[in-house]
Structure 1
Amino acid sequence: MDVNGLSAVVTGGASGLGAATARALAAKGAKVAIFDLNVEAGEAIAREIGGVYCEANVTSDDSTDAAFASARAAIGQERILINCAGIGPAAKTVSRSREDGSIKHYPMAQFNTIIQVNLVGTFRCIAKSAAGMVTLDPLESGERGAIVNTASVAAEDGQVGQAAYSASKGGIVGMTLPIARDLMGEAIRVNTILPGIFETPLMLGMPQNVIDSLGASVPFPKRLGKPPEYAMLALHLIENPYFNGEDIRLDGAIRMAPR
């Protein structure tokens, strides 16, 4: 699929992996709509790349519907969807207070929020985007569209405190092939990337010694991944017509330790 001239939606496109992917798509001539809750950052990226910003809460049908309607009014029906929206707060399943020895379990509201944003939000955007893609005529390649999701190595190597996050990302991995099969008759491909430790705003907010330690734990190259490296793979999954139903780690060969 040649992205030049095609319309694309990037969720979580105001920062990190999503922003890098939005820039990479625009650099190749795609018309890009950025879905995000961060209005200031989203509008700034949209101005930078000549795209459009659409405020979107992926946990809400109404908000997501409005964002897709706004994007399609501005740049047309998208053939490309990149799902990068996600959150990752951590808490142990059961923990003991150091002060008084009291026991508490994982806050269920937080568990549900992570699942709703990361897993259900990803599926919501896939379903709504694909429903629009099927209305399009196939391209010369025979394709109608292509979708890339963002999981995490935590789907396979979840660390202490990542039960909810790992469950949400494991769900994305688990649904990739079934969705690709659901959409095979409509000529829409679906793939998922499992990033390792990347230079996202969350990571870059940590102390430098922690960042250095995390980078040193990567077999090679011994550093955090860079968002443009994620974007490179996302674009390849869009452009290579034989990639479908795959879950691909992008992690410098790291296998996460328990902590």
Structure 2
Amino acid sequence: MEQISCKICNSKSELVFTSKCLKKYEVKYFKCNHCGYLFTEDPFWLNEAYERSINISDTGLISRNIFFSQILSVLIYFNFNKDATFLDYAGGYGLFTRLMRDIGFDFYWYDPYTQNLFANGFEKKLDNNIKFELITAFEVFEHFEQPNQELLKMFKLTNTVVFSTELIPQEIPDPALWWYYGFEHGQHISFYSSRTFEYLANKYDLNYYNTNGIQFLTKKRLNKNQLIVFKKLRNLGLLRFVKSRMRSKTLEDWERLKNKP
């Protein structure tokens, strides 16, 4: 059985299957039995996979960003400093940043690979002297070639990362049945179990919380049950309450941008 070192914990990882990416490259997938991380061989096909930075099959992009903006608005308002500065890491077209600014949160965008279409004027370059109350990274972790390096980069900027990625079950999903492998676009190269994130939390002295889709790695201690309740109550008046207490930045941003060349 072919083995290589795990990129997260350096333990031995075994070849578990091969599959065709981009309909032409036979790619090996390895599983670490220590931390539960599943990952591809060295992703030699990525330049081709990212010729279109947002893959053409991502039909849920808009609904997903609306969903996350509603949940994060409530979670930030009640658990973090709502008046602080926030960053959307690998923020794609900037839709999430724009939605959060429209609600009233001072969000900024960072993504070296994608054109910022919706949050123009609110870009941030990574600078270790600038700190953020919280960083979001939705549907990003599965794209990381070196997860440890990316986490270290983010935690130089913040004490809390809020993210989403589909967790792999204990039993590896059949390559023919699990859509999240993303073989057709070839951009998903890292897959995590809850055990993987628990390992990372322990390694970097963080707390890990999973609230049924929205996940946290943070230096703060949070009440997981409270997070779940806030998430469920967003459609029962809580989101409306938050919006009524926040001051939208839509017009403020228009004033700021209207005379820019």
TM beyond 0.5: no
More helix by share: 1
TM-score for the superposition, normalised by structure 1: 0.39
TM-score for the superposition, normalised by structure 2: 0.39
More strand by share: 2
